[in-house]
Structure 1
């Protein structure tokens, strides 16, 4: 499908030849005035080129204009401008967009357009993937397909703890998303094995523990970094700091940090949930259970950090308890 580029700025001989060449590969639209809104163009526009110098706006005014354009958040933008010494004036306001300095190099312009469109398409694919994970999580939560977790609460716990440990927001968000499918291997196990009011038999425990291996197999069939992280978490989130966990019996820092984080919130959330063979633990009792296993079941450094964010965890817990009560009443 032919891509459409909107050029904001007045036509002039200096630029006409360059944009005429572009018209061989893209549909070119011109507007000589800054539109009050981009919504009229959005369904068709693939990329915008703003000629700042011809638009009549100062750098600051132009950037302020973009800040209030919601439509601009969904369209890649290139900035055409005279080269200036302090280009950071604009970059301070508009992060991640590209600049084209006059006189224009046609070959460089083609490259920047191609890269902008390619990067934007990758971002859209990633957004779609994230939405798909949320859908999977929602289905599992509503239908209880494979877990007794409140996975949304658990995901919030995960993000809080990862940030406190020092992970970046982006990496913490990826781990939060991985939480939604960390137990996906349970779909490979017959529900009759673990949905019981009795204590699990040794054979049932053996079969249930294989969900880590099944989950890893399901999630590791792609090179996606997010899927690779999710596969790692699925495989190792039942390992223990003292080496007495499963499926590999790893100990200490041989267990990936992502799995060490998830193991804490996994156990905490399990304690907080009612199951067919146990009642829900109160929040404080559940927290004390985690703290008592510092250095045995859990990474001691992670538990120290966990202790510092208990108030944040309690806020999340109370929020979800309130939502559950309202749902029950209604």
Structure 2
């Protein structure tokens, strides 16, 4: 360990240094100039400071005050050496941050005893600090590992559900990306954006409890099959409810509310407007848009323009108007998420020509989509 002695008397410095060097493992530096000592302490760490009270350039109390203002000297033991016996002097030193006192008349045995005690205190401080840092690092690493595991589990579960539903894992990825763009545009903070991005893939996790014959049926669902399909919302909530993390609670709100509609005609509770959790309103729009643009057993893929037109028509009915406006503002980025080329990105919300009408090669696709649209099989199975 390292001690520093500050005293304007060189003979006193020499005597103190010789006595302190008898303490095993202790290195000692001395300074007759308190200003120089303070400058050195700004860049070097000592474990014990001995400072004289009565010095011409700076008093011992001023030196202590300067040292205690340095972050790395807030807890370092400081031994004040003084010939004063007045209580007021001692109180002033304590208030400045002195740890202990030593009379100049004290014998070498007392000096070394007090120094050893203060060095033991310093060792305990250092050990405790190292343990605390180690525990903090371990907790941080463990927390990061747990978060990473939770995120990985969510994505794997979502992708497993996608494959069972006859879709690809790209759907949940696109829904997550679009949801984050909307959350960002709506001004949500970074943490909330992240939670929506990570929880969005679980919006249809309840489909794990729906029979394959209903999930994969290529034609229209019967009324009983539609009722069965709608049960995936309640199943999803059951899977995710009572989660201990904020992320799972967000996922539960999304799973339970992404089939509600702004005008109150959705399910399962018929919520309307802001009764529907914002996370669910965001993911509902992203999910419907990507489902429209993706091929399904019961419909072909729509063009980006047709899907965009549908979203705009449903503003204030199916979708939160604010979410639709955010969707329009983020259009170029959303089109990029969908893998659009520059032509697709020119589809504009201010009346730009439809992709299908502007480019004749898409006419056949438009005819097929119109046929399916007439049956109202637009986004997914309700």
How many angstroms does 1:140 deviate by? Answer: 3.8
| Number of equivalenced pairs | 232
Which of 182, 187, 200 aligns to 2:221? It is 200
What is the alpha-carbon distance in structure 1 between the residues aligned to residue 208 and residue 73 of structure 2? Answer: 52
Pair 1:121 & 2:121 matched: no
The residue that corresponds to 2:172 in the other structure is 151
Report the secondary structure of 1:277's partner residue. coil
TM-score normalised by length of structure 2: 0.56
Q: CA RMSD in A?
A: 2.7
What is the alpha-carbon distance in structure 1 between the residues aligned to residue 321 and residue 73 of structure 2? Answer: 51
Given that 1:197 and 1:276 are in contact with CA atoms closer than 8 Å, whether structure 2 keeps it comes out as: yes
What is the alpha-carbon distance in structure 1 between the residues aligned to residue 73 and residue 317 of structure 2? Answer: 57
Given that 2:217 and 2:298 are in contact with CA atoms closer than 8 Å, whether structure 1 keeps it comes out as: yes
How many angstroms does 1:205 deviate by? Answer: 0.8
What is the alpha-carbon distance in structure 1 between the residues aligned to residue 73 and residue 211 of structure 2? Answer: 59
Structure 1 runs of 4+ with >6 Å offset: 82-85
Q: 1:311 to 1:84 in 2, by over 3 A?
A: farther
Q: 1:101 to 1:278 in 2, by over 3 A?
A: farther
Report the secondary structure of 1:173's partner residue. helix
Given that 2:165 and 2:215 are in contact with CA atoms closer than 8 Å, whether structure 1 keeps it comes out as: no
Q: 1:140 to 1:319 in 2, by over 3 A?
A: farther
What is the alpha-carbon distance in structure 1 between the residues aligned to residue 138 and residue 73 of structure 2? Answer: 15
- Please show how residues 72-111 of structure 1 align to structure 2 within 5 Å: 103=76, 105=125, 109=129, 110-111=131-132
How many angstroms does 1:198 deviate by? Answer: 1.3
The residue that corresponds to 1:35 in the other structure is none
What is the alpha-carbon distance in structure 1 between the residues aligned to residue 135 and residue 157 of structure 2? Answer: 33
How many angstroms does 1:194 deviate by? Answer: 2.9
- Please show how residues 126-141 of structure 1 align to structure 2 within 5 Å: 126-141=147-162
Q: 1:83 to 1:216 in 2, by over 3 A?
A: farther
Given that 1:146 and 1:184 are in contact with CA atoms closer than 8 Å, whether structure 2 keeps it comes out as: no
- Please show how residues 295-306 of structure 1 align to structure 2 within 5 Å: 295-306=316-327
Q: 1:284 to 1:120 in 2, by over 3 A?
A: same
Given that 2:165 and 2:216 are in contact with CA atoms closer than 8 Å, whether structure 1 keeps it comes out as: no
What is the alpha-carbon distance in structure 1 between the residues aligned to residue 328 and residue 73 of structure 2? Answer: 50
Q: 1:84 to 1:303 in 2, by over 3 A?
A: farther
How many angstroms does 1:84 deviate by? Answer: 6.5
Which of 292, 308, 313 aligns to 1:292? It is 313
Q: 1:316 to 1:248 in 2, by over 3 A?
A: same
What is the alpha-carbon distance in structure 2 between the residues aligned to residue 148 and residue 231 of structure 1? Answer: 22
Given that 2:166 and 2:216 are in contact with CA atoms closer than 8 Å, whether structure 1 keeps it comes out as: no
Given that 2:161 and 2:207 are in contact with CA atoms closer than 8 Å, whether structure 1 keeps it comes out as: no
Pair 1:313 & 2:334 matched: yes
Q: 1:101 to 1:210 in 2, by over 3 A?
A: farther
- Please show how residues 141-290 of structure 1 align to structure 2 within 5 Å: 141=162, 144-146=163-165, 148=167, 150-290=171-311
**Deviations along 1:151-180, whole A, 9 cap, x unmatched?**
111111111111111112222121111111
Q: Structure 1 unaligned segments of length 5 or more: list them.
A: 1-11, 15-51, 56-81, 88-98, 321-330
Q: 1:310 to 1:237 in 2, by over 3 A?
A: same
Report the secondary structure of 2:164's partner residue. coil
Given that 2:172 and 2:200 are in contact with CA atoms closer than 8 Å, whether structure 1 keeps it comes out as: yes
How many angstroms does 1:305 deviate by? Answer: 1.3
What is the alpha-carbon distance in structure 2 between the residues aligned to residue 313 and residue 246 of structure 1? Answer: 27
Given that 1:146 and 1:183 are in contact with CA atoms closer than 8 Å, whether structure 2 keeps it comes out as: no
Which shows bigger deviation, 249-258 or 103-112?
103-112
What is the alpha-carbon distance in structure 1 between the residues aligned to residue 155 and residue 284 of structure 2? Answer: 21
Q: Structure 2 unaligned segments of length 5 or more: list them.
A: 4-41, 46-66, 77-121, 342-382
TM-score normalised by length of structure 1: 0.64
Report the secondary structure of 2:194's partner residue. helix
Structure (1 or 2) with the larger CA radius of gyration: 2
**Deviations along 1:107-147, whole A, 9 cap, x unmatched?**
86244543343233212211121122233334344xx2136
How many angstroms does 1:195 deviate by? Answer: 1.3
